A and B are shown apart, each in its own frame.
Chain A
């Protein structure tokens, strides 16, 4: 009876690890999709309303989601007039993105780049910059989705199989 219980626990645990690995990929895709919508929103707002960064950050924070606290934090810092660059505020708040641990280093680098290039150029250049980031993100997102499709099932199966193997080995 104890052996059976142990085996179930091992297989369950290993499968859980598989699901966790797969869910990390899904969370990454969800955050990147949200970022894509944010860039779209930024593009539209800068093009048509031309409102300043503090106002944009406030509006973005109202949308909530993974980036809600991140934008709220930036807005607070902008209004405090402490005298730092926008990119410094942006980078300082990255850790407040919900689920940031699911992002890869290349995603974080992209986020840093967006912060470095926001607010310091004229409208035309700003819109073109956002357009470039949108394209970069699109590629990243396509890669992440493909990777997820291929790896999600695989990681669940591999982990579950590893669990079975361990259970057999220990029996």
Chain B
């Protein structure tokens, strides 16, 4: 059984690797096939017209040389041309740019494997909003790596008398809150440590949690999870409560007054809520105008604070009164 599991994981990894290759222009594809590297440590691939291609590997930036190696020497770097970007865009959009119009308008495309491609170029602005984007000259391929089990040590603190607590995860951008949320969803949905699985509804406004591609979640969110993809959070939460009867609702990066009002509605409906918010401390979130009423009412029973200057490190867990809950000795998990 274990060997089979390993083989499956290997196949999954190789599939994800292929999915990344398939987004690159042929010139770069060849180079990536030459380089020996650990795929799980590859975080980002950045392409800018007329500039060298840059990869972020294990948190450090490297250029790609024509010999197919990661290098710090700019003189050896391979440069990205306009044709490379055009070619990559064709592959990223599956030769169907028209099908990704909405995503392009928002500045990113989610592709097979759950990877996200950020786009920048000439924005066509009309009546106060982005109509389209032309002359796309900058691509940022952000590789999705699920870290199953990263919420293992945190989960026991999120339950009180076997009941999941309303939880708010606080973290600055890029510190792993979505990865942590994803694993919490998966474990709550599947059941964990003898606890039965719960039906989870996910409102994935920016396709970051489930990374739905053609309607199918590319990330494992458990067997009892329903995903509303691309739906605004405030509306999505209401829709889920009315239509899917979830026991738990999860949302990422809540921030607006509408989001907070919807969260309050959800919590008052007897549905448990897990949400994330940008911030560096509990005090900072308490100072956000939209959050003031909901935090005053002490609706959230747990606050999980992630460390600002590292990835995936839990700084502290607080209860509704702001008392710190003790987490296990090994307090950190490392992304990749």
- Measuring CB to CB, which residues of chain A are less than 8 angstroms from any residue of chain B? 46, 50-54, 56, 78, 81, 83, 85-86, 118-123, 125-127
Contacts and interface: CB of A to CB of B under 8 A. Distances in A.
A53 B94 contact: yes
Nearest to A126: B98
Contact of B29 (A56, A83, A85, A120): A83
B87 A122 contact: no
A104 B238 CA distance: 59
A119 B26 contact: no
A119 B93 contact: yes
B101 A119 contact: no
Given A81-B22, A83-B26, A123 B98 contact: yes
Contacts of B132: 122
Contacts of A46: 98-99
A116 B99 CA distance: 17
Nearest to A57: B95
A54 B94 contact: yes
21 contacts: A46-B99, A50-B99, A50-B101, A52-B99, A54-B94, A56-B96, A78-B95, A81-B22, A83-B26, A83-B91, A85-B90, A119-B93, A119-B97, A121-B97, A122-B98, A122-B101, A122-B132, A123-B101, A126-B97, A126-B98, A127-B98
A86 B86 CA distance: 12
Interface residues of B, number: 19
Interface string B60-103: 00000000000000000000000000010011011111110100
Contacts of B93: 52, 119
Contact of B97 (A51, A56, A120, A127): A120
B95 A52 contact: yes
Contacts of B25: 83
Interface in B89-133: 90-91, 93-99, 101, 104, 132
Contact of A53 (B18, B29, B95): B95
